[in-house]
Structure 1
């Protein structure tokens, strides 16, 4: 099989710093390589589904090896059953519903044991996948369906009403009671004996259009190719082998429509032959029950869930099987990391970093020792990745500890944004560097530290204040369950930091007490100037704070007082 080869840039590896920094080019290089047995395939006529299924356990193992367990029903799917279902559904999509290569298929469903079958069948038949959050409104759904040009929608029965006005044909994930609509399972059953024509995509073809969360602006359709996914799956399989055992059990409560859930659970873990326990949606008690019941070893999580484990776990569940907790979507504070490790000393906490535009991959800690040695770090560059830290005012490439915007280059980087050449040009430069919009720095060991989103920095009297830093301090207060910091317009200072705080039950914490708590730990220009108490911090499905919602709320509050 053809393989991807790293192309050396600038100095030879022996001339770079121990952290992989090349002083001549300003480029940080990955310190690890995939090795001969794990090269990324570059065979042109290869689609994501074919690649993923080629990594399934061998036939004698696939018959008994469980791929997914549904926590709600206890239903299990083996790898051999999964493979048959994928082929049958792909055949049904082709013969029964007329899906052809390049047709966009819109998927709207909570996590389901059928979700991986649906996604891989769409890839196998040559379709283009686009997924959405079931919590999205009818207008948001309509906008995505029209923007993506979807030809078919596969939807949970409870969400079907949101697509009526689009006039797009729909296939239900399952048939409701007293219903007569066609469902995914029925299509699988009726097409088991049919042949699937050769409709495979090439690696350069678009595999998915995934819409960014829109936490700071208008949501855009990220174009990911089969090559992007295949590269990412190779990296995930390699890193999972490095960190996990063959019999490990993973728990999925993150949404499968999001790049984190899609890349890791729907696709990535299948290349490792792992068993995944699947929750329809996240709830804290359900997560603890699943760990207890199924002896779960691994949880890829997000910071709010890690915070919940630290603050809310009151016991009663056996969590001793837990060995690894990964974290992504937003940076972890040193204080939260320390509290987690103090409470769960036997669990390896391994933060990582990725974004939709890089197919969810970029940095990761491969060992517990590395993670412990770099508090609040987000891991080291994965194989095939290069990075630059670019000063967003001068454009200079920054050495270790110099702050700037993180730029990435890798075969996992997206092709661009759907129908938006201007946004694509602003995000990917002519040399293929992806500008992430994240303020960061690397240390001497090549570990990445995310400071905050550049667009979210608060400009106060000429100083720049990172909301994430203040949020980490606020979360250290014993009476604060959650917090978010936003910029509030100010006539004299330009912007001032304002905190939204969720108090613990029964707490009478006051605005002045919060302000003083932060003021005692930061420079004067970083002080929180205003506090508003709130029941819940709005967050995206990936756990990112929806600051634009809080900014709008603060402006509405100001207007109401005028």
Structure 2
């Protein structure tokens, strides 16, 4: 019998704060913040009351544009306690993307930090909302964003026009607990409480509507698959604005009384220091993060013996990288998760006690309570084990839909409630799935279907190669040709011919990359997804392939 939790997100935190009151809840070593679960819940309640005092009410949409600062995770629970939908903004967004999201999401409040990497958020908001110059105490009005009423600054030295986040904490002191309790009593676990915008690897971002029930239960099942308990401590390196951070990390932790130890901005050295200092037992990341940690010059100086489990996900997990993580980082029970924002996000996960071969070669099997099937991409008919087709999922974790986009929703959720992922997969007779690529990323060369992942996995076995991405580029004769963008390990050299020679006789000739490019890094979304379409666009330009066929 699959266990489901019937808590709202705020109700869950109340429950955990009573069950594990003195357990470390949220720890930021660099900021000297160490909240027990009881203290963390108290802070979230205080902020929830401050939001009510500010006039933010159940059903409103508020956006947060920040990296992994403490206020982010506080707002995740504070907004949920009063039924306010938290709209997560990609940290890498620039002005046009920010304007689109604020407009499309109908957000009435924006919480933001000063800057992220090379983006000055305050200057960017001024571009979008020139009326900010005349704002006082965060109250704004602009015709192009009719819903936006206020802007709140997270951090010290508040810029002109903004309300500071600490003021909301103060305002909460004026609101009685009974007022908060009255709002909480009206909430339903199936209310939409979170809106995440798909990463934008294709087309305009869409607002994925997720409920308390989606997020609490997905987080719970993810944590169960890692055997999380109140003794575990998770180092969170992935961004909160994405489901990987807010669900696979935060909700998986809170549902089990596990300690959250976030790293604000990914840095491999900080991650290694944090794991050692806080004796973390779990670590999450996308493959490129684990590669950066493993290849850091000081890697061997750190004691990572406390590590046990975690998740490698976000993009296809190279087998060779997974093996090194198990062997060199002591992550003997690491799991892989497959999913997408539209499924809260987890659909399948490997288990800690799966044989290592299964944990490195598959993305596991359906999470408890989730149904998975593989269907023929032409006919939609269910396929038997061993046959490749589109992976579809159904269950408690499927989104309510895309915000204000019913036609787009109907394209991905069919009349029987199956979510069509757009990913190609093969399932074995025991339900374990291998993701073989995106339907749209399949390369068709002279009538041959080529799946980039197959070539990538082979090239990962070369001792000089650190990372590789394979994709199709236009070709007048064959329709498409295979191209590989290769990141070499530090201090080594390699030629294009060396790569082709390594492939000859090992993989079919038509799969051998015609084009090879050595690169330092890949264009990525802030959540760690490699944007192959950008690699393709760059290659078309550099190689002068615009006239070779359809370069779209």
Displacement of 1:405 in angstroms is 0.3
Is 1:292 paired with 2:276?
A: yes
* Alignment deviations for residues 44-64 of structure 1 (CA, whole Å, 9 cap, x no partner): xx6322234323343xx41x3
Point out where structure 1 has 5 or more consecutive residues left out of the alignment: 1-32
Pick aligned residue for 1:554 from 528, 539, 542 = 539
For residue 14 of structure 1, what is the aligned residue in structure 2?
none
Q: Secondary structure at the match of 1:208?
A: strand
Pick aligned residue for 2:169 from 168, 183, 188 = 188
Give yes or no for contact 2:286–2:528 (8 Å, CA) kept in 1. yes
For residue 433 of structure 2, what is the aligned residue in structure 1?
448
Q: Residues 489 and 423 (structure 1 numbering): CA distance in 2 closer, same or farther, change over 3 Å?
A: same
For residue 90 of structure 1, what is the aligned residue in structure 2?
48
For residue 72 of structure 1, what is the aligned residue in structure 2?
30
**Cα RMSD (Å):** 2.2
Q: Provide the aligned length of Structure 1 versus Structure 2.
A: 517
Q: Secondary structure at the match of 1:304?
A: helix
Q: Residues 505 and 345 (structure 1 numbering): CA distance in 2 closer, same or farther, change over 3 Å?
A: closer
Give yes or no for contact 1:205–1:225 (8 Å, CA) kept in 2. yes
Displacement of 1:310 in angstroms is 4.4
Which deviates the most, 146-155 or 295-304? 295-304
Which deviates the most, 404-413 or 313-322? 313-322
For residue 508 of structure 1, what is the aligned residue in structure 2?
493
Task: Report 1 or 2 for greater relative contact order, CA contacts < 8 Å, sequence distance ≥ 6.
Answer: 1
Give 1:318-467 correspondences, 5 Å limit.
318-344=303-329, 347-373=332-358, 375-467=360-452
Q: Secondary structure at the match of 1:56?
A: helix
Is 1:55 paired with 2:16?
A: yes
Q: Secondary structure at the match of 2:391?
A: strand
Give yes or no for contact 1:403–1:439 (8 Å, CA) kept in 2. yes
Pick aligned residue for 1:163 from 103, 125, 132 = 125
Could you tell me the TM-score, scaled by structure 2's length? 0.88
Q: Distance in 1 between matches of 2:28 and 2:330?
A: 29
Is 1:499 paired with 2:484?
A: yes
Which deviates the most, 225-234 or 451-460? 225-234
Q: Secondary structure at the match of 2:30?
A: coil
Pick aligned residue for 1:130 from 79, 87, 110 = 87
Q: Distance in 2 between matches of 1:530 and 1:542?
A: 28
Displacement of 1:460 in angstroms is 0.9
Q: Residues 434 and 346 (structure 1 numbering): CA distance in 2 closer, same or farther, change over 3 Å?
A: closer
Q: Distance in 1 between matches of 2:518 and 2:88?
A: 34
Displacement of 1:393 in angstroms is 1.7
Pick aligned residue for 2:250 from 253, 263, 266 = 266
For residue 219 of structure 1, what is the aligned residue in structure 2?
205
Q: Residues 325 and 231 (structure 1 numbering): CA distance in 2 closer, same or farther, change over 3 Å?
A: closer
Give yes or no for contact 2:312–2:336 (8 Å, CA) kept in 1. yes
For residue 5 of structure 2, what is the aligned residue in structure 1?
40
For residue 515 of structure 2, what is the aligned residue in structure 1?
530
Which deviates the most, 454-463 or 415-424? 415-424
Give yes or no for contact 1:175–1:182 (8 Å, CA) kept in 2. no
Displacement of 1:345 in angstroms is 5.8
Q: Distance in 2 between matches of 1:52 and 1:407?
A: 32
Displacement of 1:328 in angstroms is 1.5
Q: Secondary structure at the match of 2:163?
A: coil
Is 1:282 paired with 2:266?
A: yes
Displacement of 1:462 in angstroms is 1.0
Displacement of 1:395 in angstroms is 2.1
Q: Distance in 2 between matches of 1:336 and 1:520?
A: 24
Which deviates the most, 533-542 or 195-204? 195-204
Query: Which stretches of structure 1, 4 residues or longer, exceed 6 Å deviation after superposition?
Result: 177-180
Q: Secondary structure at the match of 1:170?
A: strand
Which deviates the most, 511-520 or 439-448? 511-520
